[in-house]
Amino acid sequence: MPWNSDQWRRDVTDNIWVRALRRKQLHPLLMRALRAAVATAVEIETQPFRAPATDPISTSLAVEQSARARAILAARDRLPQLWNEWRESMVAALTQIVAQAPEHDGTDPAAQPLRSFN
């Protein structure tokens, strides 16, 4: 499966989601919102690099494009490490969010008191 296919992105999203959730029951609306946030982050971060289709309009754009291409080439030997670090940081961030969310017990969330995060 190609690394940037839709199925691959769904698998990455599922992996991050399952590891961060750790069987905690959240309100369905919160679960959908968090899962959508993870899917969006994966979509943004896994876009393939595309070379510009046309010549840059200005010298500054040419320099910017050249610098970006050099950075990508310099990082290619470390891509697996960088990918693992990014994925683990996503899991850690989502785990912190999930830890602060109340367990869903089937009641109406409007009836529950607000929590203070001070």
pLDDT single digits (tens) 49-76: 676 667 767 888 888 888 888 888 888 8
In a domain, 54, yes or no: yes
What's the half-sphere exposure (Cβ side, CA atoms, 13 Å) at 57? 0
- SS3 assignment, position 2: coil
- Is 87 part of a structural domain of the chain? yes
Structural domain contains residue 84: yes
What's the token pair of residue 78?
Answer: 């470390």
Q: What are phi and psi of 22, to 5 degrees?
A: 50, 50
Q: What is the mean pLDDT of residues 11-19?
A: 90
Q: What is the C-alpha to C-alpha distance for residues 64 and 75, in angstroms, rounded to an integer?
A: 17
- 10 falls within a domain: yes
Least confident of 74-83, 84-93, 101-110: 101-110
Whole-prediction pTM = 0.66
CB 30 within 8 A of CB 101: yes
Provide the domain limits for residue 55.
6-105
**1 lies in a domain?**
no
Looking at residue 1, its pLDDT comes to 47
Please indicate, yes or no, if residue 81 is contained in any of the structural domains.
yes
Residue 75 lies in a domain: yes
pLDDT category at 115 given cuts 50, 70, 90 is low
112 part of a folded domain: no
Tell me how many domains the chain contains: 1
Q: Going by C-beta distance under 8 Å and a sequence separation of 6 or more, which residues neighbour residue 3?
A: 46
